[in-house]
Structure 1
Amino acid sequence: MSNVATTPSAAPAPPVAERGTRRPRLSGMTWLVWRQHRAAFWTMLALTALAVAWMLYQRAGLLDHLTAKGWPHSSPDKWMEDITPHSAALAKAALGLGFVPVLLGVFLGAPLLAGDLESGTAKLVTSQAATPARWLAAKIGICALVVVVCTVAVSFTFGRWWAPVSRQNTVMDWSSGAAFDNTGPVPVALALFTVLGGVAIGMVLRRTLLSMVVTFFFAVAVQVVWAHFRLDLGNVIRVTTDSGVDGGAPSLPAAAFQIDQSYVTSSGETLGWSTCVHAGSDKAVAACQQQKGIVGWAVDYLPISQMSGMQWLGASILFALAAAVTAFVFLWGRKRVV
């Protein structure tokens, strides 16, 4: 009988778990900034998603109404019937969107740096491995990215909603802030400039509440100045007549925004439409017009075809100002951030 001991076979090695695809994760300063402001960022993204969904729903209702009226093949008088509820919804949405740059500047831009400077968090962070420039870049970069994503989504959706009736001034005049400031690149540029202005104010004042108050007045001032110079971005077109004033002023293209209307003389000079009004009778008015050499009408206007170019020109100016503010933040912050 054999007493040879048998060697037990080695236990099989456990199977090597296959490495799954690693999902991208935030790390370092990016993770710190996102975690610090995640409540504000997620709130912005959630509100943007809700706003976009609501506007898409409203757009579908508008298209159903227009299609039932024969749009786009029937005359505007036909498919503009009973459109009041839809135009009212557009007006309310435009009013709400008009406050977005101000709210973002006050509640996102102003506290972004001011809160850390006031509490001493900035000194703690920059005393570690992170440099002030890196801290500022992470703060401003993530904030600007979230602002751009949200405003682009809202601007695009609102523009698509308004597009079917964009040539109907009775619904929403394209030259008004309701349409001009809420479509295309303008809302993105306004929001970004206002937020970065709030960031700069917070960095200089270093007090959160004071920075929010000052940023509010700054944001309102930006809106007022922008509204005052908005139409100066276009090239005014003038049309004239020379067949007398009785035939009426010349007709303008659809959706054109009329700036001024006046009389034109044989020499090309323009006179106010109230010229000769106080002359007395119709005969006296006609004699006055003949004496002054009035031969027709002159009308100055901006066509809707210039809207996109005006928006991009204005947005370019605002983007340049935002870049200048960002440069100021970095130059100031490198030495005085703590």
Structure 2
Amino acid sequence: MTTLAPDHVRSPRLSGPVWLVWRQHRAAYWTLIGLTLVGVLVMVVLRGQMTDYLNTSAPKSGALPPDFEKYSGRLFSIGGYLTYVPALTGVFLGAPLFAGDLESGTAKLVTSQSVSRLRWLTTKLALTAVLIALSATALSVTFAWWWSPVRGRDDTLEWTSGVFFDGTGPVPVAYALLTFTLGAAIGLLLRRTLVSMAVTLGAVVAIGLVWDRFRLNLGHVLTITTDRGIGPDSPQPELPAQAIQQGQGTSFLTDSGARLDWTTCLEGTSDDRAQTACLESKHVIGYAMDYLPVTQMHTMQWLATGIMLAGTAAAVLFVVQWGQRRLL
């Protein structure tokens, strides 16, 4: 049996449409890879500095040192930069993906060869989407690893913040894919690179505003109550660890289970006794407070991921159908 010498063994290489797409967009792809590696390296270094500080300065009680603000500020700053990843992928990778080829005439040249429209569309989408998914996953995992030593140890690092909810778990990957495919669909429709980038930016900003407004609606709000009376000496609800209060704060609970706003009986009263007497006349027996427990975080993230991936699938379907019918 004849074996090939090492010099004759060919390493795997890209070929066909995959090679063409990589060659065409290699500058954007290498930029994405490079920025991802830089981001991961920066977070690894900053996490090491934070853990070294905690090991030498953290009190035995487990609480964070009083001067931890510098390190929490770094977490928020880097996390804030990561929230721009979906916008960047949509504007700089999604919008020019097809618009650039349609504007320059490359699409007509490619599809006039042996490559079908469907194969050209899916190859460009798939290769770019894989790189985006790998990049977002690397950043998400590293950021979650950085956050893990101080998670739940400070109220300022709450999990419902967009920095941590959108920057960890599967959400960053799904979010980036959604904006990328949306940008690709807009570019295919408008056929002009700069116009497509501008429209994509507006669409991504609009999605972000809506997402920030309704993110917490994915969770199931729970209520904790007390029934030991009201007043300065009566206990108020104590939330579980890392739970996030919802609504306008503590409300009053009546013996029928109804809830009254915290401003009840404030008008026309001059002291606490008068307010207490007013509330007792309304059969108030304690307090109630709404909250989201931290145990719902992963469920909410996966629900958000499902919604975003559904939007991604819709955008991909549009690209495929529109591209095959009205590409040129």
Could you say which residue in structure 2 is the equivalent of 1:299? 289
The answer to whether the 8 A contact 2:244-2:291 is kept is yes
The alpha carbon displacement at 1:279 in A equals 3.3
Could you say which residue in structure 2 is the equivalent of 1:150? 135
- Deviation by residue 1:181-232 (Cα, 9 ceiling, x = unmatched): 1000111111110010000000000011110010001100111111111101
Percent pairwise identity:
47
- Is 1:85 aligned with 2:74? no
- Is 1:191 aligned with 2:180? no
Which secondary structure state, in structure 2, belongs to the residue aligned with residue 76 of structure 1? coil
- Is 1:56 aligned with 2:44? yes
Could you say which residue in structure 2 is the equivalent of 1:9? none
Distance 2:166 2:12 in 1: 36
- Is 1:290 aligned with 2:265? no
- Is 1:107 aligned with 2:92? yes
- 1:1-338 aligned at under 5 Å gives the runs 19-69=7-57, 74-77=60-63, 79-246=64-231, 247-260=234-247, 261-280=250-269, 281-338=271-328
Distance 1:286 1:249 in 2: 15
Distance 1:80 1:136 in 2: 54
Q: Aligned-residue CA RMSD in angstroms? A: 1.4
The alpha carbon displacement at 1:24 in A equals 0.9
The alpha carbon displacement at 1:21 in A equals 2.9
Which secondary structure state, in structure 2, belongs to the residue aligned with residue 184 of structure 1? coil
The alpha carbon displacement at 1:68 in A equals 1.9
- Deviation by residue 1:146-185 (Cα, 9 ceiling, x = unmatched): 1001000000000010111111343422101011010001
Could you say which residue in structure 2 is the equivalent of 1:4? none
- Deviation by residue 1:314-336 (Cα, 9 ceiling, x = unmatched): 11110111011101110111111
The alpha carbon displacement at 1:283 in A equals 2.4
Higher gyration radius (CA): 1
The answer to whether the 8 A contact 1:172-1:178 is kept is no
The answer to whether the 8 A contact 2:87-2:179 is kept is yes
Structure 2: runs of 5+ lacking an equivalent: none
Distance 1:186 1:159 in 2: 12
Moved more, 46-55 or 271-280: 271-280
Distance 1:75 1:194 in 2: 44
The answer to whether the 8 A contact 2:58-2:65 is kept is no
Distance 2:58 2:163 in 1: 27
User: TM (normalized to structure 1)?
Assistant: 0.92
Which secondary structure state, in structure 2, belongs to the residue aligned with residue 301 of structure 1? strand
Which secondary structure state, in structure 1, belongs to the residue aligned with residue 267 of structure 2? helix
The answer to whether the 8 A contact 2:226-2:235 is kept is no
Distance 2:70 2:89 in 1: 29
Distance 1:323 1:297 in 2: 46
Runs of 4+ in 1 over 4 A off after TM superposition: 16-19
The alpha carbon displacement at 1:83 in A equals 1.0
Which secondary structure state, in structure 1, belongs to the residue aligned with residue 274 of structure 2? helix
Q: Alignment length, in residue pairs?
A: 320
Give the direction of change, closer, same or farther, for the CA distance of 1:206–1:57 in structure 2 (3 Å limit): same
